[in-house]
Amino acid sequence: MNRRENLKLLFTGSLASGIFMTGCGPEAPKETLHAPTIGEGTKWGRTPEELAENAALQEDVFFTEDEMKKLNYLVDVIIPKDETSGSASEAGVPDFIEFIVKDMPYYKTPMRGGLMWLDTEAQDRYGKAYMEASEDERIKIIDDIAYPDQAKPEMARGVKFFNTLRNLTSTGFFTSPEGFKDLDYKGNTPNVWKGIPDEVMAEHGFKLEEKYLPIYMDPDTRHTLAQWDEEGNLIG
């Protein structure tokens, strides 16, 4: 049904509707048409509320410029460029993290506090802010918080922060076009499922059960209309 028909139908629905009840007002009930207003289509099925919420989140700014600089550096430490794909910052991960902490506000304080913790730790160790420390000095701090099973107990806050940052960076990267390239992801496109490739079956030593071979979907007849006999056997 097209939009025009849709509108027509809803208009018809409005004529068919009955009496408007005032509920609690003293005046007598009067007749009103129920004619819902139909908005234009929304992008990828968003409701008007969702569009407004997303727009408000996009407009809001959480991280400061300094924090974004730190984030840009850190996400590339976690996911650097290599021979397979680009780095996290090239994949837009800092902007993704900026959005996600606004969308999931429970991230806000741990992320801000974690970035601040790096500065206080660098101050204690080297007498300067984290981004002013040398590359070696910065990595030394990261090495102390990146391995939860080995980290010293006094590093716990840093470990927790880095776990969160590793999660968000990894997920932000691998759900980006660059990440899909990295994973060599092949799906999300119309196709025909023909089963596991033969060489993969052989590699794992699997065979399909004989009894199902005659009934599995046949790619060659998958567009012919289904027909059954009276016992429910597929005959076409």
Site for another protein in 211-230 (CB under 8 A): 212, 215-218, 221-226, 228
Please tell me the number of Cα atoms within 13 Å of 65 on its side-chain side.
0
Quick one: 111 or 146, whose CB is closer to another protein?
146
What is the three-class DSSP state of 234? Answer: strand
Q: Does 26 bind another protein (CB under 8 A)?
A: no
What stretches of 79-235 show up as alpha helix (H) in DSSP? 93-103, 108-126, 135-145, 156-174, 177-183, 198-204
Q: Segment near another protein (CB under 8 A), from 49-57, 61-69, 108-116, 130-138?
A: 49-57
d(CA 166, CA 171): 8
Applying CB under 8 A, among 28, 43, 210, 220 the residue interacting with another protein is 43
Quick one: 5 or 127, whose CB is closer to another protein?
5
Quick one: 132 or 218, whose CB is closer to another protein?
218
What mask, x for binding another protein by CB under 8 A, covers residues 109 to 148? ---------------------------------x---xxx
Contact 52, 21 (CB under 8 A): no
d(CA 47, CA 54): 11
Rg of the chain (C-alpha set)? 29
Please, which of residues 76-105 interact with another protein by CB under 8 A?
Answer: 77-80, 82, 84, 96, 99-100, 103-104
